[in-house]
Amino acid sequence: MPLERHTPQPFFKRPSMYITSKIFAICTLGFILINSLGVFLSFVIPGDQFDVLVWITVLAFLFYSGLIMWVFHEKSLKVIWLSLTIGVIFTVGASLLMWWGKNQ
């Protein structure tokens, strides 16, 4: 009776890597996205500095909570990583343009 050979799943197809990838995405790109969104909103929201900071803190908490729920609801890792990457590029780029325009 020959020994049966078990072929393991590819590394990124394992259920443990699926959850780990989601956690890593929300902890890295999600955190960067929310911070860059806060910087962008600091240029957009009018008012004195303290009021704007309070509003940004509240909005960042709400957006990050919603982002966590969306990441764990979405089934496709490609959609998660691509959406977060595009969001980071957009908010960082917009923040840099606003900062550059303000300092010119």
30-84 pLDDT, tens digit per residue, is: 999 999 999 999 999 898 989 999 999 999 999 999 999 999 999 999 999 999 9
- Predicted confidence at residue 1, as pLDDT, reads 54
Mean pLDDT of 85-89: 97
pTM for the whole thing? 0.80
pLDDT band at 12 (very low <50, low <70, confident <90, very high): low
Residue 15 pLDDT: 76
Query: Above 60 in pLDDT, residue 16?
Result: yes
Burial class of residue 98 (count of CB atoms within 10 Å of its CB; 0-12, 13-18, 19+): middle
pLDDT, residue 68, reads 96
**Mean pLDDT along residues 6-17:** 71
**Mean pLDDT throughout 16-28?**
92
Per-residue pLDDT band at 104 (split at 50, 70, 90):
confident
- Report d(CA 21, CA 82) in Å as an integer: 13
Residues in CB range of 43: below 8 A, 6 or more apart: 95, 98, 99, 102
